[in-house]
Amino acid sequence: MFVLLFLCVLLISTPIQAADSYADLVEDLMPSVVNISTERKVIENVDNMDNVMINPQLEGREALGSGFFIRNDGYILTNHHVIKGAKKITVVTNDNQIFDAKIIGIDEPSDLAVLKIESNKKEDKNQTLFKAVVFGDANNVRIGDKVLTFGNPYGLGVSVSSGIISAKSRNIGLGEQEYLQTDASINKGNSGGPMFNLDGEVIGVNAAIFTVQGASGIGFSLPSNIANWVSDQIIKSGKVKRGWLGLTVSNGIDQYTGKSGFVVTSIDEESSAYKEGLRVGDIITAYNKKPANDLSDFTKLTETMEPGQVLRLTTTSYGEEFQNIVAIQEMPASELTNVTNKALIESRKYYHQSDDTDVFYISELKIAVKEANPRGLTIVKIDSNSPLQGKGISIGDVILEADRSDIYSADNLLDSIRYAAFNDYRPLSLLIQGVDNTFYSTIEMAKEND
């Protein structure tokens, strides 16, 4: 009886390590993640700590974002927007080594950039200079899979968040590219960091966050397949060569046969497709023996094919079926510019600046606002068709909170709007400071930008 009681007490008092701990995996992956910063010339507002490097060794530098080693000889992948405009780039590893970095190449359509650092240490045969990641296949990711998002903000070292894949193939307004969506918190400064599966493979690059004053409940990562393809081309040739068919297509149905596919809506007369006989109005019913029912998949395939490769198409024209072999060409500079410009235009669709540089128009709410002091946004205009009409809200009132998150800038409000929009345009809760009182108001957002 005494022995049994002793064993029970022992089992209760002995700490049991959680079976789902990520500690071993995180420890193995941390050396691959880096901080990216630049030297600051002037700190205009010392109260604004968003981008200040907190590590004393890095005083005088401004945090730009994160990145990770993709080769053990010092090649690093990050977002293009992280290093855009930086004159001198500094990379800080997880063990606080500091290196100057040079840009190997950028790719604006995917918002990726490859950097390179050089180590003073000689590479040992049994030990590599830097720990490179292993790319996984994002196509195999399933909604509900557990993931870890990594970053190295502010020069403090690696930060890690866990979560799940909450959606795939999300279009977030950055051109045609689709993203993985996760509920793992992605904080400011973590753009360009990796997202790992539980096998320790990179399945995404942290690209965008919807955040209000710091942490986020929703983040987006560029799939690893695109990141791996882009970075490999940049390292090999300094740029990305995209495949080009010379035609544009949309979903359609052949009126003669009833078959569905991609209808050719325009075609370049200098393209291989035109010379092969394709014309506007033809229907692509299959490509490489695969049914033509996923336009996004077709676009991604053609853009990632190398110039010179061939694509086998099954097409119909006036009800007659043809087999076409079309050579992939390199996307002309003019077309690549169009891709980039479209991505930039789409990414700004929520944010309209008025003639007054201090006033911003929020199209979803159909209001114009300017920053208030010490916080909030003062409403300077309310359109007649604004969802704020009839809510007791007037010009001069101040928006203090959106969905219980403090508002300091137009970007903060837009983040909350976007978060609500991705949840089927659910109503937005605003805390309004009026002349006589402060109150909450529930707003139904406009779905279209007029």
Domain definitions of the chain by residue range: 30-237, 243-334, 351-443
Integer Cα distance of 146 and 142 in angstroms: 9
The verdict on whether 383 is a catalytic residue reads no
What are the angstrom distances between the C-alpha of 66 and each of 26, 29, 34, 369? 16, 14, 6, 32
Integer Cα distance of 7 and 364 in angstroms: 64
Please give the pLDDT value at position 343: 45
Cβ–Cβ < 8 Å for 420, 404: no
Please give the pLDDT value at position 211: 46
Cβ–Cβ < 8 Å for 252, 265: no
**Residue scoring higher pLDDT (346 or 242):** 242
Cβ–Cβ < 8 Å for 247, 235: no
Range 95-121 average pLDDT: 88
Architecture of domain 351-443: Roll (2.30)
Classify residue 41 by burial, with Cβ atoms within 10 Å: 0-12, 13-18, 19+: exposed
Please give the pLDDT value at position 240: 87
pLDDT at 5 over 50: no
Note if the pTM is more than 0.85. Answer: no
Question: Which position among 107, 111, 254, 282 bears the catalytic label?
Answer: 111
Classify residue 318 by burial, with Cβ atoms within 10 Å: 0-12, 13-18, 19+: exposed
Range 256-260 average pLDDT: 84
Identify which of 138, 72, 78 has the alpha carbon closest to the alpha carbon of residue 103: 78
pLDDT at 261 over 60: yes
The verdict on whether 80 is a catalytic residue reads no
Q: How confident is the model at residue 146 (pLDDT cuts 50, 70, 90)?
A: very high
H/E element holding 47?
none
Cβ–Cβ < 8 Å for 135, 110: no
Full DSSP string of 252-275: EE-TTT--EEEEEEEE-TTSHHHH
- Type of residue at 5: L
Range 86-101 average pLDDT: 88
Same fold, 243-334 and 351-443: yes
Range 179-187 average pLDDT: 79
The verdict on whether 355 is a catalytic residue reads no
Please give the pLDDT value at position 252: 81
Supply the Cα-derived Rg of the chain in whole angstroms: 26
Architecture of domain 243-334: Roll (2.30)
What is the average pLDDT score of the chain? 78
Please give the pLDDT value at position 339: 55
Integer Cα distance of 337 and 267 in angstroms: 18
Question: Which position among 80, 81, 110, 272 bears the catalytic label?
Answer: 81
Stretch among 184-188, 216-220, 323-327, 335-339 having the lowest mean pLDDT: 335-339
Residues 427-447: pLDDT tens digits?
888 988 887 677 778 888 755
Residues 150-174: pLDDT tens digits?
987 765 668 898 989 988 766 544 4
Share of residues in the chain with pLDDT > 90 (%): 32
Stretch among 16-30, 141-155, 226-240, 394-408 having the lowest mean pLDDT: 16-30
Stretch among 139-148, 247-256, 323-332 having the lowest mean pLDDT: 247-256
Specify whether the backbone of 296 is left (phi greater than 0), alpha (psi in -120 to 50) or beta.
alpha
pLDDT at 70 over 50: yes
Please give the pLDDT value at position 169: 66
Share of residues in the chain with pLDDT > 70 (%): 75
Q: Does domain 30-237 have CATH number 3.40.50.720?
A: no
Cβ–Cβ < 8 Å for 404, 429: yes
Please give the pLDDT value at position 188: 63
Question: Which position among 191, 221, 272, 386 bears the catalytic label?
Answer: 191
Integer Cα distance of 13 and 7 in angstroms: 10
Structure tokens at 236: 């090999």
